[in-house]
Amino acid sequence: MVISEEGGETPPVLLGGRGTLLTGCICWAGCAVFGAWLGRCLAAGFTDFGEEMLYYFRHYFFMFLKAASMSIRSPRKLITFDWAMKRLLRSKANFEILEGFLSELLGEDITILEILESESNKESKLDKFNRVDLKVKNGKDEIIIIEVQYERELDYLQRMLYGTSRVITEHQQEGEPYATLVKVISVNILYFNLGHGSDYIYHGTTTFVGIHDNDKLQLDIRQQKQYGKMQINHIYPEYYLIRLNNFNSIAKTSLDEWIYFLKNEEIKDEFQAKGIQKAKRSFSLLSMSEAEQAAYARYQDDLRYQASLVESNYGLGLREGREAGITEGRVEGQTRLLRKLLERRFGVLPEWATGRLICASEQELEAWAEAILTAQTLEAVFTP
């Protein structure tokens, strides 16, 4: 028994629990057993339980209610990864977070040397764009581009290629041999559906496969020494596509724990991936100043506004496309029908008549269809 500061007795608390849900279950089970025992006592005519026994019952009952409510309460959200890329991950003190994510994704320990200049490193109107990118240099002198994209972009794959090509040329000094070309890794975090596939992480590399023998071309020993690479695909850019919409939010691996955070903006206490618990502490909204929270709220509002514009324009385009398609189909049908009628009455049509039909509007086709009933010659049909 423990004496509280108010002087009253406080029942012993449950220690060593692994979460409020487990605590709630234990309390519920205890209350159920106690209730069954109490019912039997009352049925047997025994009523002298004492105040202490009733006190324990009330305590654990309300403890159960509190634990149960905590277990179903929505977890507190963290700031989004793209905002962290803009404001937090540029600091060397937070390199551990980015290193953890990249290490889990690439399957090797990554050390970040510096953050390189990129468009989103600059404070400008691009802060309100739905694309965020970060360019880092690791301990192997490789450049890693990390990009977050929210809205659909049909030519995104081409833009990935352009982005890696641009980085390669920007970091190649004039007069240097091609052997010094920088290796680029492109990591793309996508909140929209790109392409068709069932997986949520895709990895793209460059290989050369024999047309006849189906063997893969390899570097010889001299090339390996000159380039410092063991495989041809280690020379060319690599691409990672993380399609968050395809992730089922079940974290089975340490990499999945990062993907879970990227999709749900939540990091569970039991997650053990590299750097992820520091991310949980650093990305907490409560750790931000009022000014930072206000800036973050404005940023989220901007994203929602941009998403609304994109969806509105996309929907408008679909509707206009359908309407245009219906009209085009109707005109095409009228053209074919009128051409058959003209050929039946006047024979094979000359080129000038065929050209008039192809370029005709719906109103012209209707007028010519009426004229064919009374016109004596083909020319008269097309004469106003």
Q: Name the nearest CA neighbour of 123 among 115, 110, 114, 132.
A: 132
**pLDDT of 58 over the 80 cut:** no
The pair phi, psi for residue 258, each rounded to 5°, is -70, -40
Return the C-alpha torsion angle 366, 368, 370, 371, nearest 10. 160
Angle between helices 351-358 and 290-346 (to 10 degrees): 150
Mean pLDDT of 53-73: 47
Cα separation, 232 vs 223, in Å, equals 10
| Cross-strand partners of 241 | 188, 202
* Residues 303 and 296 sit within 8 Å (Cβ to Cβ): no
pLDDT digits (tens, 9 = 90+) for 64-73: 444 444 444 4
Beta carbons of 167 and 135 less than 8 angstroms apart: yes
Say if residue 145's pLDDT is above 90.
Answer: no
In the chain, % of residues over pLDDT 90: 23
Q: Which residues of 132-158 are buried (b: 16+ CB within 10 A; e: fewer)?
A: bbbbbbbeeebbbbbbbbbbebeebee
Taking alpha carbons only, the member of 332, 273, 250 closest to residue 107 is: 273
369 to 107, 167, 359: CA distances (angstroms): 71, 61, 15
- In tens, the pLDDT along 310-339 reads 555 555 555 555 555 566 677 788 888 888
Residue 201 contacts residue 238 (beta carbons within 8 Å): no
User: What local confidence, expressed as pLDDT, does residue 44 receive?
Assistant: 57
Look over the chain and give the mean of its residue pLDDT values, rounded to a whole number. Answer: 75
